[in-house]
Homo-oligomer: A and B are copies of this chain.
Amino acid sequence: MILSVANKYEIQIGTISQANFDWLSSKNYAGWVLFADENTAELCLPRIEEFLPEDTPVIVVPEGELNKNLETCQDMWEDLFAAGVGRRWCAICLGGGVLEDMAGFVSSTYKRGIDFLQIPTTLLSMVDSSVGGKLGIDFNQVKNSIGVFNDPIAVWIDPVFLETLPLREIRSGYGEIIKHGLIADRDQWDKIKTITDLSTVDWETIIPSSVNIKREIVLEDPFEKGLRKALNFGHTIGHAIESYWLETDLRLFHGEAVAAGMIMESWLSTQLEALSSDELREITDYCLSMYGHQSIPEDSLPELLALMQQDKKNEDHRVNFTLLSAAGKARINATAEEELIVEAIRYYNGLAHA
């Protein structure tokens, strides 16, 4: 399956084969360089190694969000120089969202930009970060606060890499698939909510429709001036929870935080938009059944609210939300008072023993 993004580049979903690298060869780059993280270098690189020239420089970076920073970028830029990479080279970025955001940013700024290709290896990066051109790193304790918008020359999504992932990681990425259905495609949501076992999902079918929803939104609004904010559903509260938990021992995955965020923001949608209480119940039940429940301590509320205030999408110091007017229909640029946000969190906490 091939999805074209505004005739600028193509997203291929299916097995990566010699044909892919024949196409890359036909572009006549002066050389290829490969970025991977510690995990993908070990688990994913062997699956494509046979297609690469033996002297391809491989730059391996430490994995994880905590390393998505300027220090790692400096190492990567230095490694590119050391490998003699020139402006007519192409970087192949093999990894999850962290690696792809960072390697894409490093490529886009090295010698004012070299071409790069993305091979996402996690479900999250397949359906989310590999579409849309958002690249960057964390800075000043703010996620993705330094970066650029730039497109890869191609995205190759091969579900075979999902076999390398622990189930919890798959479940995390699945949160974005739920979100795509809820904000833009009622039919997709109706299909998704029947899924109960992530180990038996037919990814070759689910991924293309999810990627396509994101693709259509991004094409309408590449620089997040309006519609693209729809993708923020579940993320205003979700990001705050994710950041807050980063500082604690208990690690919360992105999709887990977003699932909780979607429940709370669905509750807000019943208060501020036309989402029905039946729909709220359906969303709440499904997210709880897939992600369980993680109570939010009362004493974390001030910090959570402060984190929401810092979001890039805010204007004039009001917290910006994307809410639902129905399942399958988003409404951007909603705002909520602090009291109501606190009520939403308490609604979620009240589900603990539901």
Instruction: Confirm or deny: A289 has a beta carbon within 8 angstroms of a beta carbon on chain B.
Output: no
The 0/1 profile, CB within 8 Å of B marked 1, for residues 130-149 of chain A is 00001110011010111111
List A142-173 residues whose CB lies under 8 Å from chain B.
Answer: 142, 144-149
- How far apart are A149's CB and chain B's nearest CB, in angstroms? 6
B residues in contact with A109, CB < 8 Å: 109, 136, 146-148
Q: Quick one: given A148-B109, A148-B113, are A30 and B316 in contact (CB under 8 Å)? A: yes
Contact B312 A140 (CB under 8 A): no
Contact B146 A110 (CB under 8 A): yes
A277 to B144, CA, bound (A): 57
A109 to B150, CA, bound (A): 11
A328 to B218, CA, bound (A): 46
Contact B112 A144 (CB under 8 A): yes
Contact A140 B81 (CB under 8 A): yes
Contact B81 A148 (CB under 8 A): no
DSSP majority for the A interface? mixed
A86 to B30, CA, bound (A): 39
Of the listed stretches A8-16, A49-57, A70-78, A261-269, name the one at the interface; the rest are far from the partner chain.
Answer: A70-78
How extensive is the interface on chain A, given as a class?
Answer: 20 to 34
Contact A136 B112 (CB under 8 A): yes
A315 to B87, CA, bound (A): 8
B residues in contact with A74, CB < 8 Å: 70
Most buried by B among A78, A81, A142: A81
A149 to B110, CA, bound (A): 11
Instruction: Confirm or deny: A314 has a beta carbon within 8 angstroms of a beta carbon on chain B.
Output: yes
B residues in contact with A144, CB < 8 Å: 112
Contact B112 A148 (CB under 8 A): yes
Instruction: Confirm or deny: A47 has a beta carbon within 8 angstroms of a beta carbon on chain B.
Output: no
List A80-101 residues whose CB lies under 8 Å from chain B.
Answer: 81, 86-88
A314 to B88, CA, bound (A): 10
Instruction: Confirm or deny: A281 has a beta carbon within 8 angstroms of a beta carbon on chain B.
Output: no
Q: Which residue of B lies closest to A137 (CB)?
A: B109
Q: Quick one: given A140-B78, A140-B81, are A86 and B147 in contact (CB under 8 Å)? A: no
Contact A81 B142 (CB under 8 A): yes
Contact of A312 among B108, B111, B147, B314 (CB under 8 A): B111
- How far apart are A131's CB and chain B's nearest CB, in angstroms? 15
Contact B87 A312 (CB under 8 A): yes
Contact B139 A77 (CB under 8 A): yes
A307 to B250, CA, bound (A): 51
Q: Quick one: given A70-B70, A70-B74, are A145 and B314 in contact (CB under 8 Å)? A: no
A12 to B30, CA, bound (A): 40
Contact B113 A315 (CB under 8 A): no
User: Can you list 5 A-B pairs with a CB-CB distance of less than 8 A?
Assistant: A77-B139, A81-B140, A111-B145, A111-B147, A112-B148
Closest 8 CB pairs of A and B: A112-B147, A111-B312, A81-B140, A109-B146, A112-B149, A109-B148, A112-B148, A87-B312
Binding site for B on A (CB under 8 A): 30, 70, 74, 77-78, 81, 86-88, 108-113, 134-136, 139-140, 142, 144-149, 223, 312-316
- Given contacts A81-B142, A109-B148, 20 further A-B pairs with CB under 8 A are A30-B315, A30-B316, A70-B70, A70-B74, A77-B139, A77-B145, A78-B140, A81-B140, A86-B312, A86-B314, A87-B313, A88-B315, A108-B148, A109-B147, A111-B145, A111-B312, A112-B134, A112-B136, A112-B147, A113-B149
